[in-house]
Amino acid sequence: MCGIVGFTGTRSAAPILLDSLKKLEYRGYDSAGLAIMDTGLIAGNKPEGTITVSKVRGRIANLCEKTCDGELLPGLTGIGHTRWATHGAPTEENAHPHLSNDGRFAVVHNGIIENYLTLREELIADGYHFESETDTEVIVHLIEMYYKGSVRDALIKTANRLSGSYALGVICSDEPGKIYAVREASPLILGIGIDENFFASDVTALVNHTRNVIYLEDGEFAELSKESIRIFDVSGQVIHKKTKRIMWDVQAAEKGGYEHFMLKEIMEQPGAVKATIAPRIKNGKVEFDELTDLIPYLPGIRKIIITACGSAYYAGCAGKYALEKLCKIPVEVQLASELRYSDPLIDEETLVIVISQSGETADTIAAMKECKARGAKTLAIVNVVGSSVATISDFTVYTWAGPEIAVATTKGYTTQIAVLYMIALYIGDSLGRIDGDYGKMVETIQALPRRIQQAIDMNPGIPAFAKKYHESKALFFIGRNTDYAVALEGALKMKEISYLHAEAYAAGELKHGTIALIEEHQPVIALCCNPSIMEKTLSNIVEVKSRGAEVLALTFRSNQKILSVADDLLFIPKVDALFSAVIEIVPLQLLAYHVAKENGCDIDKPKNLAKSVTVE
C-alpha cells in the first residue's frame, strides 16, 4: 500500500526521506519517488525553490542508486512516496511525486480519488497536460489552477473538489522550506523535531527522527516549516491539536535478530498477549475501563455482529464461540466487504464488533460506518492508536501487540482473539449470564501467554515437516467447531506466504464434496483440540487416511487415539477449547513460515499483498 513522507529542516532532505521510505517498505509497493526543493543554501546550482523529481520502478534501493543515496538531489525540503498501483500500471510515469504543468507544485498521494475521470476531462478541456494515468495527477493540476498566491487557499479549494480518500504531501516552489499535508480518510501523522519537522503516513517512518507526533484527522490541513507547524480546517481556521508521544521502541520495529519479521512476531506472541490481557484483569475479574459506558446498553442488545477482513475476520470466527456461550447473545461473523453492500438487518439492538489490526482497512471502515448509520453501537478492537477505525467507533479496545511489520499477521490475530475472550467474559458477567466457573475461566485466560510459549517449545519438528510437505500441490486443513475456525486462519497463513494452495474445510463437510480431492499422499492437517467433537474429527481422519491421505494432526500429547492414527503430529498444551484458538494457531503459523522458507518465498512481503488495505 502507498506510503508518504515529508521533511523540512536544516539537513539534506533526500537521504532522510529515503531512510523514512525504507521504513515503509513493509507496506508493499511497486515504485517510489522523491521531489526535493532547492533552497539555494547548499550546493544546488538551480534557482532557489526549483523542484527536482526522481522516480523509479521497483525497490527503494533503485532510487538510492539513481540518486547516489540522495546526493544528486540537494535541498533541505522534500516529499517522498512509495506507490502500490491502483490507477495505471506500476511505471516510472505513474510513480509519485507528480508535478504541475508549470513545475511549481509537486504532490504525493495515498488513497483513491473517485471522481478523477470527471476532473481529468475538465482539466484537459482547460488546457492542462497529463503525464500519467493516475487519479493523483488531477490533484496537482487543480492546485495549480486554484493557486493565486496562497497555497493554503489552493489546497482548500482543491480538497473541496475531491471525492474519495486522500493523504497528500505538497511542496510549492514559491515557498522554499515549507511542506504541506492534507488528510481525508487516509492516515497522516506529523512529526515534530528540533529545527526540523516531518510528516508520514505511518509512525514507523518517523520514529528514527522523532517520537513527538500529531495525528491529523479528516478534513485537516497542515503547513510545516523547520520552525513551526500550523494546522487548519476546511474553512482555513487555525486549530490547535495535542502532541502525542510514541512509546514504541525503535528496536521493536526492527527484526531483533530473527531472519524475518514474521518469525520475530510469532515469537513475540506470549509477550503481546500478556500485554493485552494483564492490564484488564484486576482482582480476578476482567475489567475494561474503556467499556464502562457500554454497560447501560447491554441489556437491550439482541444480536452481536462481528465484522472484519482476512485474518481479523477469522479472529472473529474463533471468538464467536466464547461470546455466544458466555453472553447468551446470538453472534454472526460477517466479512466487511460483504456486509457493507448487504443492506444488513442492523439496528439499535445490535452491537457491532469491528476488528482490525491496522485500523485503516477500507472495507472494514465502510462496514462500520454502515452499521453506525443504522443505529448500532460499534466496538472496535484495533492495534493502531489513533487509526481511523479507532476514531470512528463508539468504543475502542486496543490490542497491545506493538507494531506488526510482516504482511502476514500473527500477533495481531492472537491478541484480537484474546480481547474477544475477555469481552465475552466482561459482557457475560455484566449481564449475569455466565453459568460456568468464572474464576477458572479468568485463570485460563491469564495462563494463555505461558501456553503460547509452550506451544512454540513443544514443536521442534516443524522445520522437518516443512521439508516433507513443501512441494505438495495442495494442503487441506480440517477441523470442527473452534478447530474449524482456527483451520481457516491456518490455511490463510499457508497460502499467503508460501503460495501453496491451502484450503480449510469443516471436517463434517468432507463427504459432501471435498473428499473427492483426496488421493494418495495428499497432506491433510487435522485440528483435534476440541474434546467435545474429537470423536467425529477422528472419523474424518480415518476416512481420508483410507483414501491415501497423509495426516498431520494438531492435538495434545495425551490424546492417544489421535496419536495412533496420524502420520505426523503437532502439539499444544491442553487448554479449555473455548479459549484454545490462540494456542492452536501458533504451530500452524510456524508450519506456514517454514514451508514458505523452504519454497524461498519473500516471507515478510508476499507477492501481490499489502499490509494495510486502505482501498476497496
DSSP for 17-76, written as a single string: HHHHHHHTGGG--SEEEEEEE--SSSS--S-TT-EEEEEEES-HHHHHHHTTTTTTS--S
Please identify, using beta-carbon distances, which residue of 112 and 159 lies nearer to ligand M6R. 112
What Cα–Cα distance (Å) separates residue 575 from each residue in 119, 317, 531, 563? 59, 18, 10, 18
CB of 409 to ligand M6R, least distance (A): 4
The single-letter DSSP state of residue 252 is G
How far apart are alpha carbons 163 and 166 in whole angstroms?
9
Please identify, using beta-carbon distances, which residue of 197 and 357 lies nearer to ligand M6R. 357
CB contact at 8 A, 8 and 197:
yes
Please identify, using beta-carbon distances, which residue of 141 and 605 lies nearer to ligand M6R. 605
For residue 555, list its beta bridge partners. Answer: 571
Binding site for ligand M6R (CB under 6 A): 309-312, 356-358, 361, 364, 407-409, 496, 609, 612-613
Please identify, using beta-carbon distances, which residue of 407 and 544 lies nearer to ligand M6R. 407
How far apart are alpha carbons 89 and 146 in whole angstroms?
29
Amino acid found at 491: A
Catalytic residue among 23, 226, 264, 611: 611
CB contact at 8 A, 484 and 600:
no
Please identify, using beta-carbon distances, which residue of 275 and 407 lies nearer to ligand M6R. 407
Question: How many Å from the N-terminal Cα to the C-terminal Cα in the chain?
Answer: 12
Task: Find the residue with minimal CB distance to ligand M6R.
Answer: 310
For residue 182, list its beta bridge partners. Answer: 168, 221
CB contact at 8 A, 374 and 344:
yes
- The three-state DSSP-derived secondary structure of 439-468 is HHHHHHHHCHHHHHHHHHHCCCCHHHHHHH
How far apart are alpha carbons 342 and 340 in whole angstroms?
6
CB of 613 to ligand M6R, least distance (A): 5
The single-letter DSSP state of residue 97 is P
Query: How far does CA 336 lie from the centroid of its chain?
Result: 14
How far apart are alpha carbons 243 and 38 in whole angstroms?
30
Total count of residues recorded for the chain: 616
Please identify, using beta-carbon distances, which residue of 393 and 409 lies nearer to ligand M6R. 409
CB of 360 to ligand M6R, least distance (A): 7
CB of 427 to ligand M6R, least distance (A): 22
Please identify, using beta-carbon distances, which residue of 405 and 613 lies nearer to ligand M6R. 613
CB of 484 to ligand M6R, least distance (A): 18
- The three-state DSSP-derived secondary structure of 263-283 is HHHHHCHHHHHHHHHHHHEEC
CB contact at 8 A, 331 and 323:
yes
Could you confirm whether 611 is annotated as catalytic? yes
Helix, strand, or coil (residue 560):
helix
CB contact at 8 A, 407 and 610:
yes
∠ Cα 293 296 300 (to 5°): 130
Strands (E) across 185-268 are located at 189-192, 197-200, 212-215, 220-224, 229-232, 238-239, 244-245
For residue 592, which of 507, 506, 480, 469 has the smallest C-alpha distance? 469
Could you confirm whether 64 is annotated as catalytic? no
CB contact at 8 A, 136 and 84:
no
For residue 146, which of 133, 138, 155 has the smallest C-alpha distance? 155
Please identify, using beta-carbon distances, which residue of 104 and 411 lies nearer to ligand M6R. 411
Please identify, using beta-carbon distances, which residue of 366 and 609 lies nearer to ligand M6R. 609
Give 128-135 contacts, CB < 8 A, sequence gap 24+. Answer: 128/101, 129/101, 131/93, 131/98, 131/99, 132/88, 132/93, 132/94, 132/98, 133/87, 133/88, 133/89, 133/93, 133/94, 134/87, 134/88, 134/94, 134/96, 134/98, 135/86, 135/87, 135/109, 135/164
Other CB atoms within a 10 A radius of the CB of residue 156 amount to 18
Please identify, using beta-carbon distances, which residue of 34 and 494 lies nearer to ligand M6R. 494
Catalytic residue among 2, 317, 327, 371: 2
Please identify, using beta-carbon distances, which residue of 136 and 356 lies nearer to ligand M6R. 356
Please identify every residue annotated as catalytic: 2, 611
